Chains A and B, each alone.
Chain A
Amino acid sequence: MAGNQKNRLTSGGLIDRSASLNFRFDGKSFSGFQGDTLASALVASGVKLVGRSFKYHRPRGILTASSEEPNALVELRTGARREPNTKATTAELYEGLEAASQNRWPSLRHDVMSVNQLFAPIFVAGFYYKTFMWPAKFWEAIYEPAIRRAAGLGRAAGTADPDHYDKAWAHCDVLIAGSGPAGLAAALGAGRSGARVILCEEDFTAGGRLLSDGGMIDGLPAADWLSRTLAELAAMPDVRIMTRTTLFGVYDGGTYGAIERVNDHLPVPPEHQVRQRLWRIVAKRSIVAAGAIERPIVFAGNDTPGVMMASAMRTYVTRYAATPAKRVALFTNNEDGWRTVETALGAGLQIAAVVDARPDVSPAHRSLASKNGFTVLHGSVSGVDGGKDGVRKISVSLTGGARAEVEADGLAISGGWNPTVGLTSYHRGRPKWRDDIAAFVPDGAPPGMVAAGAANGAFGLGACLREGFEAGTMAARDTGRTGNAGSTPVADDEIFSLAPLWHVAGKGKAFVDQQHDVTASDIELAQREGFESVEHLKRYTTLGMATDQGKTSNVAGLAIMAAVSGRTIPETGTTIYRPPYVPVAIGAFAGHHRDETFHATRLTPSHHWAAEQGAIFVDTGLWKRAQWYPRAGEKDWLESVTREVKAVRSGVGFCDVSTLGKIDVHGPDAGAFLDRVYINTFSSLAVGKARYGLMLREDGIVYDDGTTSRLAEDHYFLTATTAKAGLVMQHLEFCRQVLFPELDVQLTSVSDQWAQFSIAGPKTRDLLKEIVDPAEDLSNEGFPFMGAREVALRGGIRARLFRISFSGEMAFEISVPARYGEAMARNLMLAGRQFGVTPYGTEALGVMRIEKGHIAGPELSGTTTAADLGLGKMMSTKKDFIGRVMAGREALVAPDRQVVVGIKATDKARRLRSGAHIIPKGQTPGPGNDQGYITSVCFSPTLDQWIGLALVQRGRERIGEIVHAHDPLRGEDYDVELCNPVFYDPDGGRQRG
């Protein structure tokens, strides 16, 4: 067995001594047992020094045994799985675990940066603002990088996380946070009543403080009651106990966030399993039984390794059978701290002394002291003599002024308990102060939530059980579950006695926030400098802003502020509580939404066929579209695209355009409806005809365009652009449902129902004749340009055929039910072989639309009007439509607006690039003479040069003018000629032929 568990008790504890686990810390081999945390295994192995502090690089040990730990943070695992700032107190031990201490160099024991302690005066509160003020440019170049190197925590892995994370939903009647006595009693009350219950426990074992503090419940030892209760709950089919799951946030409408560490306790998640799962839990009622956190007392040297919370010491001894010290001193201001004495004595440890800040202790404790030969000192610990090897000696200021020294190798401290008020305060709730327990307790909670037990300030075991049981039963009743809940578990309440004590004056640094190295004197300094408000205090000193969010430090910090500013603690108040309660990995929030599955992928109906053809795909929103189809021997995309364009213009080609938004518009008022959403008129469109339509936003700017066909008197088929497909549907539904409810019209999204192909080129009709039933008349007379109707295909399938052209060629678009989409592509190839049919992608589609001067996404930019696009004449003056009035505003009809115009380089060999600015020729480019920009460019195989479209001031009046294209991003300057945007077949003879 590697390592020596010299501080392990020979019996007891919730560890499996038959399952020994080897692990490494800072490269050194150790061992522990199944059931250990990394912290408990280090305690058992006698390791006291586990890290260096954030600013001063002071040696630090283990302060707590739970998720509030500020000090014992390690880099867990190695390589891509290395996780910085992991709490050793919650990391479960597994075989082969590797951990490293943080923020030290070259080693934990010999840390060069501990020299920072000598410069401590410059690291006081607000030091960022004071010390590095001048010269300003030094901040980014020198100060910040240096500070970041010196002050910091662990290192991120720096490579992609190889593990998977999941997100899931859960629903229940009653959600319970915490499985201590209050949480379990709540689960019993709710579960027996018949409620659907989810109980989240962040620990890997249910039981909370019962696991460390024991007690008697219903006449049974706590451990027996615990196993009986867990068995009863396990038998209830609607009660689910989720261990390793932290409830971290409370959201609106009874929604809660929880993080389940599914496989963090294993070296690597099993195959096909996730590392962590983010739960969103919807609950009608919730019960916060999250317990309380024992709070430290602030005194000089309170961060020395070996100083530990009294309750944590009990946890290590009782639950893990690991002894943090051999000779323990206790510093307490309350009765509860004394339980550590009983635990330590029970484990055979020596008690050096008890320093009790209260005026008196009970006779029972006095007799315990005399029986076990230790002294009870009335006073406070004012200093610790020790270092990286731990505590050696403790200085005590006795009541009355005398001083004493106590030799001990461990110091347990207890300043009382702070109820965990985070969850109840996440909706900007402010906890209220209770003088009787000197602690903040919840003052109300988000709707549907109550706190019970220690989280509510009820510290006695009996009170926890009573409050939890009642809360569980009532929550179940509220959700209509009225089964017999039976009777509440019964236990005695411990005596509560506490004399508030936050800070003991003394020489040396007294730490409030150990993770951020904020001392009591930092708080006093902040007060002197005017940062009295708790929110200022927090930001000026960084109190409570570390990864532990000040779980052990916030209340002490504001108590010290209250004292130095002469206010009470409730007058001083608390900062705002915000989720998450514990750090949650970004990976968990992302879940499976990363890399290839970052978003859903939509495939066109002919996708698999296109992939077989070797198509290059481009992401268009969620879609994968074939961009071009390279052929053997082609040297680049331009060669392929040029071939595709030439093939279409000289023969026939086809392209999958199924990504268009498609909407069926039905009803007697369908035409009237379209008249209101388009700038042009559709009610007058003849059945069997298609028309290009343009939509505006209500502010007069162009929204979308597309072709809409009238297939029957009361049935139109509308298409929207790929990019706007979903938004146009939403917009049209808004118009229909909210703006024009009086119209009898219905909309059906059929985008996914139809596979649509554009077939273009002079041989289109020849190809179609091979596909379409011979009885259908496809002649120019029988199916003229802008005709649209249903046709039968050979084999009987019904298709929708539209004689529309984006390419400027003789062209049709054909729609078949999506399930025939792939077959259609294969049939077009087969039937078209004799005509040299060529599939073309979105690139060739784009080239042909620019050659034809058609506008698309780059011109529909959200800033252009119909007139800017050269479509002003389409705006009907005879009807109301969306955007009509605002489109008439002065600035939107101004004569010097930037309008669409064609451009070509004066040097025919020059490549154009979109984005270049248009400047009058001969002028020096600048914002004052910027007249527009190039929106779309392509190499035109037809014109054998690069051409483009641009938005240029008064562009249409300037055809023939030579202007300057200025492209500062790419460092290019050249001349272009403004020209008619329709480069190809301007009179449209080809598409009508």
Chain B
Amino acid sequence: MRITCPFCGERELGEFTYLGDAKPVRPVAGASEGEVFDYVYLRDNIAGVMSENWYHGGGCRAWLKVTRNTLTHEISAVEPAAGVGAAKVGA
């Protein structure tokens, strides 16, 4: 499998580390135990197109949001995580 890092270009799978489903959003401070439990433990496991977190540890150390078809391994989009660069969200 090959992933096109937005910073480094097309690179081999071995440079990346997989984390998993990128959909869950960390609850804000003060969220209930139930909400945090869902965030920590509940994951979709889709046979099809998924949005996933991947880490380019063997390259630029960017966290990437990779849209991948889990049946074909076809990657249709790779976006950098919101906080990758120097420009901060909302700054």
Bind each other = yes
Q: Smallest CB-CB separation from B71: which chain A residue?
A: A428
**Choice from B33, B55, B86 contacting A885 with Cβ under 8 Å:** B33
Query: Are A885 and B31 within 8 A (Cβ)?
Result: yes
Nearest Cβ distance between residue A730 and chain B, in whole angstroms? 6
B26 partner residues in chain A, CB cutoff 8 A: 698, 739
A743 partner residues in chain B, CB cutoff 8 A: 83, 88
Query: Are B40 and A741 within 8 A (Cβ)?
Result: no
Query: Are B36 and A886 within 8 A (Cβ)?
Result: yes
Is B17 at the interface (CB under 8 A from chain A)?
Answer: yes
Is B89 at the interface (CB under 8 A from chain A)?
Answer: yes
**Choice from B29, B63, B73 contacting A737 with Cβ under 8 Å:** B63
**Choice from A255, A427, A741, A886 contacting B1 with Cβ under 8 Å:** A255
B43 partner residues in chain A, CB cutoff 8 A: none
Is A966 at the interface (CB under 8 A from chain B)?
Answer: no
How far does the alpha carbon of A282 sit from the alpha carbon of B14 in the complex, in Å? 14
A-contact 0/1 string along B30-66, CB 8 Å cutoff:
1101001101110000000000010101000111000
Query: Are B88 and A730 within 8 A (Cβ)?
Result: no
Is A277 at the interface (CB under 8 A from chain B)?
Answer: no
Size of the B side of the interface (Cβ < 8 Å), in residues, is: 38
Query: Are B2 and A253 within 8 A (Cβ)?
Result: yes
Is A740 at the interface (CB under 8 A from chain B)?
Answer: yes
B84 partner residues in chain A, CB cutoff 8 A: 737
Query: Are A885 and B1 within 8 A (Cβ)?
Result: no
Query: Are B83 and A885 within 8 A (Cβ)?
Result: no
Is A742 at the interface (CB under 8 A from chain B)?
Answer: yes
Query: Are B88 and A885 within 8 A (Cβ)?
Result: no
Contact (A251, B1) CB under 8 Å given A730-B57, A885-B36: yes
Q: Smallest CB-CB separation from B84: which chain A residue?
A: A737
How far does the alpha carbon of A889 sit from the alpha carbon of B90 in the complex, in Å? 34
Which residues of chain A in 358-416 are interfacial with respect to chain B, using CB atoms and an 8 Å cutoff?
Answer: none
Q: Smallest CB-CB separation from B89: which chain A residue?
A: A741
How far does the alpha carbon of A886 sit from the alpha carbon of B40 in the complex, in Å? 9
Query: Are B2 and A741 within 8 A (Cβ)?
Result: no
Nearest Cβ distance between residue A746 and chain B, in whole angstroms? 7
Size of the A side of the interface (Cβ < 8 Å), in residues, is: 34
How far does the alpha carbon of A730 sit from the alpha carbon of B17 in the complex, in Å? 9
Nearest Cβ distance between residue B79 and chain A, in whole angstroms? 12
Is A699 at the interface (CB under 8 A from chain B)?
Answer: yes
How far does the alpha carbon of A733 sit from the alpha carbon of B84 in the complex, in Å? 9
B61 partner residues in chain A, CB cutoff 8 A: 729-730, 733, 749
How far does the alpha carbon of A733 sit from the alpha carbon of B17 in the complex, in Å? 13
A699 partner residues in chain B, CB cutoff 8 A: 40-41
Determine which residue in A427, A729, A749, A886 has the highest number of CB atoms from chain B within 10 A of its CB, and name it.
A886
Is A136 at the interface (CB under 8 A from chain B)?
Answer: no
Which residues of chain B in 2-31 are interfacial with respect to chain A, using CB atoms and an 8 Å cutoff?
Answer: 2, 12-13, 17, 19, 26-31
Q: Smallest CB-CB separation from B32: which chain A residue?
A: A885
Query: Are A738 and B1 within 8 A (Cβ)?
Result: no
Nearest Cβ distance between residue B9 and chain A, in whole angstroms? 12
A739 partner residues in chain B, CB cutoff 8 A: 26
Query: Are A253 and B73 within 8 A (Cβ)?
Result: yes
**Choice from B73, B82, B91 contacting A738 with Cβ under 8 Å:** B82
A508 partner residues in chain B, CB cutoff 8 A: none
A726 partner residues in chain B, CB cutoff 8 A: 57
Nearest Cβ distance between residue A217 and chain B, in whole angstroms? 38
Nearest Cβ distance between residue B51 and chain A, in whole angstroms? 12
B-contact 0/1 string along A277-307, CB 8 Å cutoff:
0001010000000000000000000000000
Is A252 at the interface (CB under 8 A from chain B)?
Answer: yes
Query: Are B63 and A886 within 8 A (Cβ)?
Result: no
How far does the alpha carbon of A290 sit from the alpha carbon of B27 in the complex, in Å? 55
B-contact 0/1 string along A211-253, CB 8 Å cutoff:
0000000000000000000000000000000000000000111
Is A896 at the interface (CB under 8 A from chain B)?
Answer: no
How far does the alpha carbon of A460 sit from the alpha carbon of B26 in the complex, in Å? 63
Query: Are B63 and A746 within 8 A (Cβ)?
Result: no
Is B77 at the interface (CB under 8 A from chain A)?
Answer: no
Is A736 at the interface (CB under 8 A from chain B)?
Answer: yes
Nearest Cβ distance between residue B68 and chain A, in whole angstroms? 10
A427 partner residues in chain B, CB cutoff 8 A: 72
Which residues of chain A in 256-291 are interfacial with respect to chain B, using CB atoms and an 8 Å cutoff?
Answer: 280, 282
Query: Are A253 and B81 within 8 A (Cβ)?
Result: no
Determine which residue in A744, A885, A886, A889 has the highest number of CB atoms from chain B within 10 A of its CB, and name it.
A885
How far does the alpha carbon of A427 sit from the alpha carbon of B74 in the complex, in Å? 12
B-contact 0/1 string along A870-897, CB 8 Å cutoff:
0000000001100001101100000000
Query: Are B91 and A744 within 8 A (Cβ)?
Result: yes
Is A254 at the interface (CB under 8 A from chain B)?
Answer: yes
Is A734 at the interface (CB under 8 A from chain B)?
Answer: yes
Which residues of chain A in 715-762 are interfacial with respect to chain B, using CB atoms and an 8 Å cutoff?
Answer: 726, 729-730, 733-734, 736-744, 746, 749
How far does the alpha carbon of A734 sit from the alpha carbon of B86 in the complex, in Å? 15
A885 partner residues in chain B, CB cutoff 8 A: 27, 31, 33, 36
Nearest Cβ distance between residue B17 and chain A, in whole angstroms? 7
Nearest Cβ distance between residue B8 and chain A, in whole angstroms? 15
How far does the alpha carbon of A255 sit from the alpha carbon of B17 in the complex, in Å? 18
Query: Are B86 and A746 within 8 A (Cβ)?
Result: yes
Query: Are A737 and B91 within 8 A (Cβ)?
Result: no
Contact (A742, B88) CB under 8 Å given A699-B40, A730-B57, A886-B37: yes
Query: Are A282 and B31 within 8 A (Cβ)?
Result: no
Query: Are B19 and A282 within 8 A (Cβ)?
Result: no
Contact (A730, B55) CB under 8 Å given A741-B89, A742-B88: yes
Query: Are A740 and B86 within 8 A (Cβ)?
Result: no
Contact (A282, B2) CB under 8 Å given A737-B82, A742-B89, A889-B33: yes
Nearest Cβ distance between residue A17 and chain B, in whole angstroms? 47
Contact (A737, B40) CB under 8 Å given A252-B73, A253-B2: no
Query: Are A254 and B81 within 8 A (Cβ)?
Result: no
How far does the alpha carbon of A726 sit from the alpha carbon of B17 in the complex, in Å? 12
Contact (A734, B29) CB under 8 Å given A252-B2, A255-B2: no
Query: Are A736 and B55 within 8 A (Cβ)?
Result: no
A886 partner residues in chain B, CB cutoff 8 A: 33, 36-37, 40
Query: Are B40 and A698 within 8 A (Cβ)?
Result: yes
Query: Are B62 and A737 within 8 A (Cβ)?
Result: yes
Contact (A738, B90) CB under 8 Å given A253-B2, A698-B40, A730-B17: no
Q: Smallest CB-CB separation from B1: which chain A residue?
A: A252
Query: Are A741 and B81 within 8 A (Cβ)?
Result: yes
Contact (A880, B29) CB under 8 Å given A737-B62, A741-B89: yes
Nearest Cβ distance between residue A675 and chain B, in whole angstroms? 11
Q: Smallest CB-CB separation from B36: which chain A residue?
A: A885
How far does the alpha carbon of A739 sit from the alpha carbon of B75 in the complex, in Å? 23
B33 partner residues in chain A, CB cutoff 8 A: 885-886, 888-889
Q: Smallest CB-CB separation from A879: which chain B residue?
A: B29
Determine which residue in A253, A255, A447 has the highest number of CB atoms from chain B within 10 A of its CB, and name it.
A253
B-contact 0/1 string along A318-348, CB 8 Å cutoff:
0000000000000000000000000000000
Q: Smallest CB-CB separation from A446: which chain B residue?
A: B72
How far does the alpha carbon of A749 sit from the alpha carbon of B61 in the complex, in Å? 10
Nearest Cβ distance between residue B70 and chain A, in whole angstroms? 12
How far does the alpha carbon of A169 sit from the alpha carbon of B10 in the complex, in Å? 14
A729 partner residues in chain B, CB cutoff 8 A: 61
Nearest Cβ distance between residue A695 and chain B, in whole angstroms? 15
A280 partner residues in chain B, CB cutoff 8 A: 12
Q: Given A698-B39, A737-B84, A744-B88, output 20 extra A-B contacts at Cβ < 8 Å.
A: A169-B12, A251-B1, A253-B1, A253-B2, A255-B2, A427-B72, A447-B74, A737-B82, A738-B81, A738-B82, A741-B81, A741-B88, A742-B83, A742-B88, A749-B61, A879-B29, A885-B27, A885-B36, A886-B36, A886-B37
13 contacts between A and B (CB under 8 A): A252-B1, A252-B13, A698-B36, A698-B40, A730-B61, A737-B80, A737-B82, A737-B84, A738-B81, A741-B83, A742-B83, A742-B91, A746-B86
A residues lining the B interface (CB < 8 Å): 169, 251-255, 280, 282, 427, 447, 698-699, 726, 729-730, 733-734, 736-744, 746, 749, 879-880, 885-886, 888-889
Closest CB pairs A-B (n = 9): A741-B83, A880-B29, A253-B2, A741-B82, A737-B81, A885-B36, A252-B1, A737-B83, A252-B73
